[in-house]
């Protein structure tokens, strides 16, 4: 039996999942990882913890009686994107904490770049906006703040990577420093038209080329794992940003196909085919994948706080013990009784791109209960996704008739029904909701000969639960108008 191992390194957890050729899960291991919030708006992670969690899940897989390591044909790595790390080339040790994609700590660097009038020029090359979300300002921040870094860079001792690069480096025993086009396209340093690092951008942002990884395709054998890690060397055969991997895992292979992933954030991606499409409504143009020399592009809307709003209910407000408890509380009340929660804890992404806002809670009365707050927080995930989908519809001049969904929070039936009600479209959950892992496993399967054609992969993606809209139009409009007022309010109130 041919097996493929996927590593899905997300913001909330690291997973290792083994699939068979039919896309069925044979074994799975997962470890939650922590985020650090040293200052308001800052979000950081310890790359050592990420690596240790990766080793832990791999070990659990190897110890499983269901797994014969000799059957694993290849490994695919999907990762939280943009999260930025510098490490020491000799020792492999991180030179500082990793700056997580959600972090706003590089706001002033971005303001300075915007003041130089670079925005349109940068967008034309990268498909992105100048925003702390992307890696370039995070690299600049690390180069500006790590003591003695300039000398180390001059001596060729420093490497930059997003989490994919770091994991490939560690898994290959420090032999291979690569990334793929999907991850490169999130750095603000990559020209999506030429498919290469852009020297003019590197010069404008003052980032040395020598620290960057080699950019590869999304599906190809780059290297092998060091033999001691898993008992034998296994080809690393795919690397893909997690949101693009989910697009692939939903079999959105054709122009116009759309999905929304509800993880730490929410990310709506539409396949736009082999030509990049430029947005006028705050969406990003990004690389969907590069396979056998052919590049596909996507339009993307990014919501910075999705499932992490539920973690805030759990860890910040301590209103629930487990993320899944939120569903039961939400169902205990008929509605939010006019309460809106806007969880813009790290600014707002698509379509607002406002990094200075903070979160807000509105419409409170003496009768407001914990249940209302929990329900309003869940609903905020659906409202933010609707904001993004409306922007996408305006860009493509057509409506999205159904929504494929995946990610940790799709287990929440209340949220999925509310999303369907709010959009007025069917919401489709696949049978295997580990879509990101499935996507990157399929990409690795293509590179190792497990699959020959995309059709074989499409067959393994089965529709599972469907949600149908049940809310009347008047109520849908009324609720969404309330949300827009709440958004306006957080944008007016700036601490």
Ligand X SMILES: Nc1ncnc2c1ncn2[C@@H]1O[C@H](COP(=O)(O)OP(=O)(O)O)[C@@H](O)[C@H]1O
Ligand Y SMILES: O=P(O)(O)OC[C@H](O)CO
- The answer to whether 81 contacts ligand Y (rule: CB under 6 A) is yes
d(CA 279, CA 256): 15
Site for ligand Y contains 351 (CB under 6 A):
no
140: tokens are 């600049």
Selected from 101, 340, 345, 418, the binder of ligand Y by CB under 6 A is: 101
Binding site for glycerol, by residue number, is 81-82, 133, 242-243
How does DSSP classify residue 347?
Answer: B
DSSP for 259-317, written as a single string: EEEESSSEEEEEEEETS----SSSPEEEEEEEETTEEEEEEEEEES-STHHHHIIIIIS
Least distance in angstroms from the C-beta of 243 to ligand X: 9
Partner touching 81 among ligand X, ligand Y, none, CB below 5 to 8 Å by kind: ligand Y
* 331-335 long-range Cβ contacts below 8 angstroms, 24+ apart: 331/414, 332/371, 333/369, 333/371, 333/372, 333/375, 335/375
DSSP string, 55-120: HHHHHHHHH-TT--GGGEEEEEEEE-SS-BEEEETTT--BSSPEEPTT--TTHHHHHHHHHTT-HH
Q: Which candidate, 416, 399, 463, 412, places its Cα nearest to that of 260?
A: 416
The span from the CA of 432 to the CA of 437, in Å, is: 10
**Beta carbon nearer to ligand Y, 164 or 379:** 164
| Minimum CB distance to ligand Y smaller for 225 or for 264 | 264
* Total residue length of the chain: 495
Minimum CB separation of residue 81 from ligand Y in Å reads 4
In the list 265, 301, 343, 349, the residue contacting ligand Y (rule: CB under 6 A) is: 265
Check binding of 87 to ligand Y (CB under 6 A).
Answer: no
Q: Which of 132, 407, 430, 439 binds ligand X (CB under 6 A)?
A: 407
Q: Interface with ligand Y includes 264 (CB under 6 A)?
A: yes
Q: Which residue in the set 108, 145, 324, 470 belongs to the binding site for ligand X (CB under 6 A)?
A: 324
Q: Which is nearer to ligand Y, 308 or 460 (CB)?
A: 308
What gap in Å lies between CA 414 and CA 51, rounded to an integer?
35
Q: In this chain, which of 162, 191, 219, 264 binds ligand X, going by CB under 6 A?
A: 264
Q: Which partner in ligand Y, ligand X, none is near 219 (CB below 5 to 8 A by kind)?
A: none
Would you count residue 343 as binding ligand X (CB under 6 A)? Answer: no
Pairing of strands 258-262, 402-406: parallel
Extract the annotated binding site for ADP.
11, 15, 264, 307, 408, 412
State the residues that interact with ligand Y by CB under 6 A. Answer: 10-11, 80-82, 101, 241-243, 263-265
State the residues that interact with ligand X by CB under 6 A. Answer: 10-13, 263-264, 307-308, 310-311, 323-324, 326-327, 407-409, 411-412
């Amino acid at each position: 039996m041919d097996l493929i191992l996927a590593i899905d390194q997300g913001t909330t957890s690291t997973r290792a999942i083994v699939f068979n050729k039919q896309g069925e899960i044979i074994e799975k291991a997962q470890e939650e990882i922590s985020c650090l919030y040293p200052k308001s708006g800052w979000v950081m992670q310890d790359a050592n913890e990420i690596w240790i969690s990766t080793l832990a899940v791999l070990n659990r897989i190897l110890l499983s009686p269901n797994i014969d390591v000799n059957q694993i044909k290849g490994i695919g790595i999907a990762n939280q994107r943009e999260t930025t790390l510098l490490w020491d080339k000799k020792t492999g040790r991180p030179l500082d904490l990793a700056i997580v994609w959600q972090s706003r700590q590089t706001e002033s660097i971005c303001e300075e770049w915007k003041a130089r009038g670079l925005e349109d020029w940068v967008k034309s090359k990268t498909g992105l906006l100048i925003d702390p979300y992307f890696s370039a300002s995070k690299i600049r921040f690390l180069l500006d703040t790590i003591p003695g870094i300039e000398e180390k860079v001059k001596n060729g001792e420093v490497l930059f990577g997003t989490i994919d690069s770091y994991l490939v480096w560690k898994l290959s025993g420090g032999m291979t420093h690569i990334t793929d086009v999907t991850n490169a396209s999130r750095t603000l340093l990559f020209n999506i038209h030429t498919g290469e690092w852009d020297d003019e951008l590197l010069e404008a942002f003052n980032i040395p080329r020598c620290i960057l990884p080699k950019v590869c395709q999304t599906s190809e054998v780059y290297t092998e794992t060091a033999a001691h890690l898993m008992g034998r060397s296994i080809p690393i055969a795919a690397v893909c940003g997690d949101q693009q991997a989910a697009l692939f895992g939903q079999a959105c292979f054709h122009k116009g196909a759309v999905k929304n992933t509800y993880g730490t954030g929410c990310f709506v991606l539409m396949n736009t085919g082999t030509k990049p499409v430029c947005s006028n409504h705050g969406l990003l143009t990004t690389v969907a994948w590069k396979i056998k020399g052919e590049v596909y592009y996507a339009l993307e809307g990014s919501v910075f706080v999705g499932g992490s709003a539920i973690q805030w209910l759990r860890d910040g407000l301590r209103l629930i013990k487990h993320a899944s408890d939120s569903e039961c509380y939400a169902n205990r009340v008929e509605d939010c009784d006019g309460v809106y929660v806007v969880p813009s804890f790290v600014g707002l992404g698509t379509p607002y791109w406002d990094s200075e806002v903070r979160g807000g809670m509105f419409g409170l009365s003496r009768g407001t209960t914990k249940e209302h707050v929990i329900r309003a927080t869940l609903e905020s995930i659906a409202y933010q996704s609707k904001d993004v989908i409306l922007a996408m519809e305006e860009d493509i001049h057509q409506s999205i008739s159904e929504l494929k969904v995946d990610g940790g929070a799709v287990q929440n039936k209340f949220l999925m029904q509310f999303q369907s009600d709010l959009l007025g479209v069917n919401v489709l959950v696949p049978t295997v909701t580990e879509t990101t892992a499935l996507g990157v496993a399929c990409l690795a399967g293509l590179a190792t000969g497990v699959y020959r054609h995309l059709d074989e992969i499409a067959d393994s993606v089965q529709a599972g639960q469907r949600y149908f809209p049940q809310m009347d139009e008047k109520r849908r409009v009324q609720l969404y108008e309330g949300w827009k007022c709440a958004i306006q309010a957080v944008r007016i109130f700036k601490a």
